[in-house]
Structure 1
Amino acid sequence: MTYVVTENCIQCKYTDCAEVCPVECFHEGPNFLVIDPDECIDCAACIPECPADAIFAEDEVPEDQRDFTAINAELTKKWPVILRKKSALPDAEAWNGKTDKRPLLKEA
């Protein structure tokens, strides 16, 4: 099993989770983070660190967000690894908790 970053991370991109990851499995895009399923060791250290509550165990991803499992796997191949905490996006607080953010996901 692996962990999956889901929709609530879009437009927030808090990076607290990446800093606690012991295996460098987080990758950073313009407005979203993803977890590499091949690198994740299922330690769950990232879950309590996510201010947006956007990380789920693969078998606990909400049904309407199951596509994020494939999105995480795909985008890890395109985006660089992130190792340290950075500032969240400027409007992160305003976006945290909003729904229907999929169309805002920037892949490049």
Structure 2
Amino acid sequence: MTYVIAEPCIDVMDKACIEECPVDCIYEGRRMLYIHPDECVDCGACEPVCPVEAIFYEDDLPAEWAHYVTVNADFFDDLGSPGGAAKTGPVDKDHSHVARHGAG
């Protein structure tokens, strides 16, 4: 199990969660942030600081956002496990679901 960032983060990216994450597992895409499922240690430090309540423990995701487990995991298909978002920096892409979110 891991923490997951869901739809409320799209186009917000407050980044308070990044500052709280002790293992640097929250990565920045173009339109939202993503938690690396293999790097997350399930500490929960990120969840209470999210101003839009977009972070959920995987088992607590609302049903309408359940697919964000896959969205977060699939974001790392090309990146692998870089071992820290700070050294990676912003990633110039999003998961296809996020990229097309809100598109007419």
What's the TM-score bracket when you normalise by the shorter of the two chains?
0.7 to 0.9
1:74, CA displacement in angstroms? 1.0
**TM-score normalised per structure 1:** 0.73
Gaps of at least 5 residues in structure 2 are 87-96
| 1:12 to 1:45, Cα distance in 2 relative to 1, 3 A | same
User: Take 1:78 and 1:5, find their aligned partners in 2: how far apart are those partners?
Assistant: 19
Q: What CA deviation, in whole Å up to 9, does each residue of 1:41-92 have, x standing for no partner? A: 0100001110110000000001111110011011134468544xxxxxxxxx
Q: How does 1:22-101 map to 2 (within 5 A)?
A: 22-78=22-78, 82-83=85-86
CA contact (8 A) 1:11 1:104 kept: no
Give the number of aligned pairs: 88
The structure with higher relative contact order (CA 8 Å, sep 6+) is 1
**TM-score normalised per structure 2:** 0.75
Backbone CA RMSD of aligned residues:
2.1
Q: Percent identity?
A: 42
